[in-house]
Structure 1
Amino acid sequence: MEAPEGRETERMAKSAAQSAAETLTYFLRQKDFYLPHVDRCVMPLRNELKALLKDVDGMRGYNESVQLIEVANNIKNVIDSFIFKIAEQRGATSAGLMSYQSTFNSGIKDIPAIEDLGKKIFDLKRRLDEILSNRSQYGIHNIQARGEASTSSNQSQIQREKRAPIVAEAEVFSFEDETRTLVERLIPGDMRRVVISITGIRGTSKTTLAKEVYHHVRKSFGVRFWVNAPQEYLVRDILLACIISICRWRGSMESDSEEDLRRKLSWYLERMRYLVVIDGIWSREAWDGLVTAFPDCENGSRVLLTTHNEEVAKYADTQSTPHKLHILNENESWTLFCKKALLENPSPACLPNLEELGRRMVAKCGGLPLAITVLGGVLSRKEKSVYKWEKVLRSVEWWLHQSEEDAILGILALSYDDLPYYLKPCSLYFGAFLEHSEICVDELIRICIAEGFVQRRGEKEMEDVAEDYVEELISRSMIQVAERKSNGMVKKCWIHDQLRDLAISKAESERFLYVYGNKAPTSSIMADRLAMTSGDISNCISLNSSTAHLRSLLDFSYEGDLRRKLALNTLGGSFKFLRVLHLESGTPLRVPDEIGDLICLR
C-alpha cells in the first residue's frame, strides 16, 4: 500500500495549484488594465493549471508533486510582486484599502515591468510543461481529452455529497442521560458555589457534553459565559477572556496585573448568580490562579469544568464528585457507527456483507466517540461495497501501525487523508483558531475565498460553494456545529482539540501554517501563514526577514494591544504580500493609514 504521506503531498500540490490558478484568475479579472501581451502570457498558464486540476487525482509521484508546489508558489510570488511593484511606483501605497484595485483602474503603462512579468510567466509555464510532459510516469494521461469527462465526474460527486444528509455528533451520540444528570446537579440544591467537573480521556466528547448542558441551563443564571482554557493560554489570558465575555470590552486593562484582573472579575460577579464554563483546564496551578476570581456569595452560582486530568477535577471542589465520561461498550460503539456511516439506512441488516468489516474497524476505535464518528464520516462518503470498506480497513490498519502510542491519531489521520484536495487547505486552516473556540462561519468563508481555496462551480456564488465545503466537513465529523441560523445554515462551528492538534501538525510540516504561542520562534518562520494564539505580535514582526513572505496573519491573542497599534505601522514593510489580516481585540482598535500599504490585501 502506498504511504499516505505520498498522497498528502499530492493533495497539497493540488491545493497549491488551485490557489495559483485562483490568483491568476483574480489578476485577469482586473479588466481595466488589460494589455494584449499580458493577457496572452498569463491566460495560457492559468488554463493549463485548471486543466491539470481536472485530472490530477492519479498523480502518485512525490518529486513531481513537490515540483508542482514550488511552481504554484512561484506563480503567486511573481503576480504579487508585480502588483506591489506597480503600486509602489504609482504611489498607490498611500491610497488606502482599495489601492490594489486603483492600481489597475487607471491602467498599467510600465512596459519594463510588464515585459519582466511576461518573461517570468513564460519561464514558469515552461517549467510546468516539463512537469506535465512526464505525466505518463505518474498517472496523468491525456488531460485535455479527458477534461470533459473528469468535470462531469466531479459534478456528479458534488451532487451526491450535497444530497447526503448531515448528521452531527450530538445527533448520532445521545447524551440525554448524561445531560439530565448534570442539569440536576447544576440547577437546584446547594446554595454554595459548586464546582462540577466533567472528566475523561481525550476523545470522550467532554466538550460536546458540556455544550449540551450549557444550552439547557444557561437561562437559569443571571450571568453566564463560556471560556476556553487551552494549555497555551496563560492564566491572565483566561481572566481577560472572562471579563470580555461579561463586559464585551475590557476597558483600559493593558497594564493590569494578574491579581488586578482577578479582583475586577470577582467584583463583576459579586451579588450575581452566575454560571461559568471553563473548557479544558489543564492543571492545579491554573485552577489556583482562577478560583479566587469566582466569589462564593451563597446564591447558587456554579462553575462547570472540563478536564482530562481527574486529579484536577477532584482538587477543584473536594465536596463535588467529578462526572466521569467512560468509553463506549461494544454495542454502543456499533450503534453510533451505524448511525454515522449508514446515513440513508442506519440498520446494518440491509448490508450483511459489511457488518464484519464494520465491526473490525469499530473495534480499533477503542470505544472513543470522536474516533467512531470520524471513521463513520469517512465511510458515509463511500459506496456501500465490500471493496470500498476493505480499502478503508486497510488504511486504518496502516495508520494504526504507524501510530501505536495513540490509536485515535491513526483514525483522525485517515480522515484527513480521505479529504478531497479542495477541502484540504480549508481543514488545515482550523489549526489557526483557538482550541474549542466557536468560529464564525461567515468570517471563515471570507478568509477561504480571499486565500483562493474555494473553486468556482459554474455560475454559483463563491460564498455558496464555501458553505458547501463547511457542510461537507461537518458531515465528515471534521468540525462540529455550534450554532445554526434561522434558515438552517451554519452560523458558528468548532473543532475537537485532537483534530486541531492534527491540523497544526500537518500544516506546520507542509509549511502551510505556523501557530505561535507564548514561546517566541527560535528560527525563521517558513510557513505562508502565521496564527498567534498568545503573546505579543511584535516578537514576530521583529523577525522581518522571515515574515515578509506571509500571505495571512491572524492574531487571536489578548496581549499587547498598545504595542500592536505600533506594530501595525510597520505592516507594509513586514508583510507586503499579506492577503488576510485578522486582529482580535477587547478594545476598539483604530486602523492606521499604513494599512493601505498592504496592496495584496483581500
Structure 2
Amino acid sequence: MAESAVSFLLNHLSTWLQDERQLLGGLERDIDYIQREMGHMRDFLRVADAKEESNPNLKEWVRQVREISYDVQDVLDDYILRFTHRGTNGLGGLIKKCYASIKDLKARHQIASDIQVINNRLEDASKSQQRYREMYAVMDQGSGPTLSKNEWHDGRGEALFLEEADVVGIEEPKKQLLEWIWSMDNGLEVISVVGMGGLGKTTLVKKIYDDESVKRHFSRHVWIVASDYTDVKHLLANLIKKLVWKTKESPPQELEDMSADEMREFIYEFLQQKNYIIVLDDVWDISRWEAIRFALPKRGVHGCIIITTRFKSISNAACSETNHVYTLEPLSLEESKELFYKKAFPRNPCPPYLKEFAQSILRRCEGLPLAIVVIGGLLATKNNRAEEWELFNRSLGHELEGGDLHRLSKLLSLSYYDLPYYLKYCFLYLSIFPEGDLLEKEKIIRLWIAEGFIQEKPDKTMEEVADGYLNELLSRSLIQVADKAVDGRPRTFRIHDLLRNYIASKSREQNIVAIYGGGNMQWPNKIRRV
C-alpha cells in the first residue's frame, strides 16, 4: 500500500509541477528532489510490500515512507490553498495585496521549513532503502517480485479434499455445469465459474472433476492451479507433464528448452483425436487463459475446459463463444445455517442459548461458505460457552485483523493486493460507509473526485474515469450491484460485510481513514480522514 501512496503522490506531483512551477520560487529544487527520491523508492516498495509482514524493521520503513508521502501531499495542498488565489483590483485590492504579501513571506518560510524537514526524513529513508535493497539482493529497480498469490494460504488446498457431506448448496450449480458438459458436441467446450473469493468455486468444480460419469467420459484429466505459475512457459511445461503422465509416457526430453509456441504446438498435436477435461483453477490474469487457448484443437476432439476466477472480464472473454458462465451466488440463509451447525456443533444440536449469537454471526458471513466453515470450526473449540461466543461475535472485526481468523483475512487480502495502486485508494475509501449501507454510485464518484483519487485521462471526463473504476471493482467481484436504474445501469452497490471489515482494518493500518466506533478507541498519531 505504501507503493500506492507514493504512486498517487508522484502522479499529483507531475501534474502540479506542470501547472504551478512558476509559483515555486526557491522551492523548485526541493520539490524536484522529492519527486526524484520518491520515484527511486516506488519500485523497491513492490518488494517491501511483499516482505514487510515477515520483517518488522522493513514494515516500519514502509510506514515511514507512506507517512512522508502523505506529509508531502499536505504541504502541497497548503501551498496551493495559500498561493493560487490572486486577482485583485483597485486601491482596496492593492492594500489587500500588500497585506497578503507579508503573510505570504511567513507562509513561504513555514512551507520551506516543512519541506526541508521532509527532505531530511527522505534522505534517512533513502539510506535505509539501500540497506534493505542489499539485504534482499535486489540489484535493479523493479526486478523484485510482487506479492505472489501462492505465498498466501487461502484455503484452496482444503477445498480439494472436502467430503461430500461437508458441502452444502452445491446441487443446483453442479447440475447446471453437468448439463453444459453433456450438451456439448464434438469440439471444444469452455465453461467458467466466477465469484468472489471464498464462495466455493474450487470446491464446486472439484466435485464435477471427480464425478464418476465425468471420469468415465473423458480419458484425459488435468487440474492446473493457474495462479501457481509465474510465467506462461512454466504453465505450459507443467500442463505437458500432467498430460503425458496420465498416459504413462515421458515428457519430451527437450521440454525445458522449448519455446512457448513449440509447447503449444506439442499440446495441440497431443490432444488431436482425444477427449479430455482440463481445469484452470484460480485464474487472475487473462494471459493464463490466452497461454493455452491456441494450444487446444477445436476439431477432431471432445474437449472441455473449466475455468474458475474472481474476474467477470476473464470469464466473459474465455466463454465468448459458448456463453457458459456460471456466477456462483452466496448460500441461502437455510443453507448457511445447515453448514454452520455442521461445523460448530459436529455431534450435538445447537443449544438454545447460543442461537441468537449464531444468527448474528451468520448474518455477517452473508452466505460465504469458507467464512462459515472457518468460523464454525473455530467456535466448535469454545465448548458451547456463551461468554466465549458473545466475545467472538463482538470482536469479529478484530479477529480478522490478526486473531484466529487471520487465515480468512489472507483470502480476502488476495483481491486487495492484486489491485493497481489507483484502485487500492478507491477501494479502501469505501470503508467510510457504515456496515450494511448501500453505496450510491453518484455519491461514490463525487467523493472519489473530491478526494483527488481519479486520474485525468484524454477525451474522458472525471466522472467517466470514476465510473470505469467502479466497473473494474465490479468485474473483480469486490462489490456487487444492489439496484439498477430503468436503463439497466447500476445505481447502488453493496460490499460483503467481512470484506468491509477487512478494508476498514487496512484503512486504519494505512492511515487512509480513521473510523470512530465509540468507546475509548485509540486514535492514530496523525489522522488524515475521520
Q: Where on the TM-score scale, by shorter chain, does this alignment land: which range? A: 0.3 to 0.5
- The TM-score, its normalising length taken from structure 1, stands at 0.38
Larger Rg: 2
